[in-house]
Amino acid sequence: MSVDKAMHILVVDDYSTMRRIIKNLLKQLGFDNVDEAADGGEAFKKLQEKPAGLVISDWNMEPMTGMELLKLVRGNPALKNTPFIMVTAESKPENVIAAKQAGVSNYIVKPFNAETLKTKMTSVIGEF
């Protein structure tokens, strides 16, 4: 089964430049239905209004971090199965373990390119 390229993807990062970069990478991969949020709180509100087929979230944000957003998503019955990729500049083993324990689907370390994003997305949502 292949992934629907019209799938709704939510990109969450407190830096608009990073959101734009990720959206451009997703566009290169054929995904145009991309929404964005500047922090976890805004993202969770958007997810409750319109669930996403995939969330790509930065870890380090204020006032709500990507980890806090992940825990909210996993704790919400309507959203708990949403594929969730965490993006971070740090690849500390304890962070990776904490994210896995919280239920993250996969993990990307910045900087990354379209090929890395495609590989991580494929592992989470399947071939496209």
Q: What CATH number is given to the structural domain containing 24? A: 3.40.50.2300
Whole-structure pTM value: 0.96
Q: Tell me how far apart the alpha carbons of residues 20 and 42 are, in angstroms, rounded to a whole number.
A: 17
Token code pair at residue 104: 């993250």
For the chain, the domain total comes to 1
Token code pair at residue 126: 């399947």
pLDDT digits (tens, 9 = 90+) for 104-117: 999 999 999 999 99
- Provide CB contacts within 8 A for 116, sequence distance 6+: 108
Q: Is residue 128 part of a domain?
A: no
pLDDT digits (tens, 9 = 90+) for 6-49: 999 999 999 999 999 999 999 999 999 999 999 999 999 999 99
Q: Is residue 51 part of a domain?
A: yes
| Res 61 pLDDT > 80 | yes
Q: Is residue 127 part of a domain?
A: no
Q: Is residue 4 part of a domain?
A: no
Question: Quick count: other Cβ atoms within 10 Å of Cβ 5?
Answer: 12
Q: Tell me how far apart the alpha carbons of residues 59 and 109 are, in angstroms, rounded to a whole number.
A: 10
66 with 40: CB under 8 angstroms? yes
Strands (E), the chain: 9-12, 34-37, 54-58, 84-88, 106-109
Q: Is residue 61 part of a domain?
A: yes
Residue 3 DSSP one-character state: P
Residue 87's domain comprises: 9-121
- Provide CB contacts within 8 A for 78, sequence distance 6+: 48, 51
Q: Residue 119: which of 52, 39, 29, 53 has the closest Cα?
A: 29
- Lateral strand order in the sheet of 106-109: 34-37, 9-12, 54-58, 84-88, 106-109
